[in-house]
Structure 1
Amino acid sequence: MKRSMLDILQCPIDRHYPLELFEIEVAGDGEIREGVLACAKCGRYYPIMEEIPVMLPDELRNKERDVGFLQRWQAKIPEKILRQGNPWHL
């Protein structure tokens, strides 16, 4: 994901802007390979997987994939997202 996308992305649930970015893996060209976008208003998080922000409404999200992402990167994801993030947390 390009950092410049932060200028246009908003939470699909409550339309909050801007979203917080937590970088996990960054490519040599500055693209964010893995990370998390977080909404400070509703507490939802949106994983960035293989450079793609996955910003789906709750009913379309894959719980196994999201929880697996949190488990895989828990050492690099803020505790607040891990323990209180919506729609699922550890």
Structure 2
Amino acid sequence: MKRRLLDILACPMCRHYPLDLFAFREGDEIDEGAIVCSNCKRWYPIIEAIPHMLPDELRKADEDLSFMERWKEKLPKEIVEKGKPFNLVMEK
């Protein structure tokens, strides 16, 4: 994902703008990372340079939780523990 894409993205659930970006692995583009809505606390993974910004009902818990587990040290603690629609605390 190109950083400049963040200039036009809004949260698909609450329409909040701007969103926060956390880049975990990048070269010319952000290959792995997360986009976070500071308003509703939803997070959206960036996988293989593609932001997965789907509404809650279209997201897959197992895929999102696997991504979060892999990157939990680089995500904000608030998102890991209280992020929507999935977080690592609710899983336990």
The list of structure 1 runs, each at least 4 consecutive aligned residues, that deviate by more than 6 angstroms after superposition, is none
Question: What residue in structure 2 maps to residue 81 of structure 1?
Answer: 79
Shift of 1:76: 1.2
The alpha-carbon deviation at position 49 of structure 1 amounts to 0.5
Count of matched residue pairs = 88
Q: Name the structure where helix makes up a greater proportion of residues.
A: 2
The percentage of counterpart residues that share the same residue type is 53
1:74, CA displacement in angstroms? 1.1
TM-score (structure 1 length as normaliser): 0.95
Deviations 1:51-75 (A, max 9, x none): 0000000000010000000001111
Residue 56 (structure 2) aligned to one of 55, 58, 61? 58
CA RMSD of aligned residues (A): 0.6
CA distance in 1, matches of 2:6, 2:72: 23
Q: Please report the TM-score for the alignment, with normalisation by the length of structure 2.
A: 0.93
Which consecutive unaligned segments of at least 5 residues does structure 2 have? none
Distance in 2 (CA, whole Å) between partners of 1:36 and 1:80 is: 14
Counterparts of 2:20 and 2:39, CA distance in 1:
11
Q: Secondary structure at the match of 2:38?
A: coil
Structure 1 gap segments, 5+ residues each: none
Q: What code does the residue aligned with 2:13 have?
A: I
Alpha-carbon distance, 1:77 to partner: 1.2
2:13 alignment partner in structure 1: 13
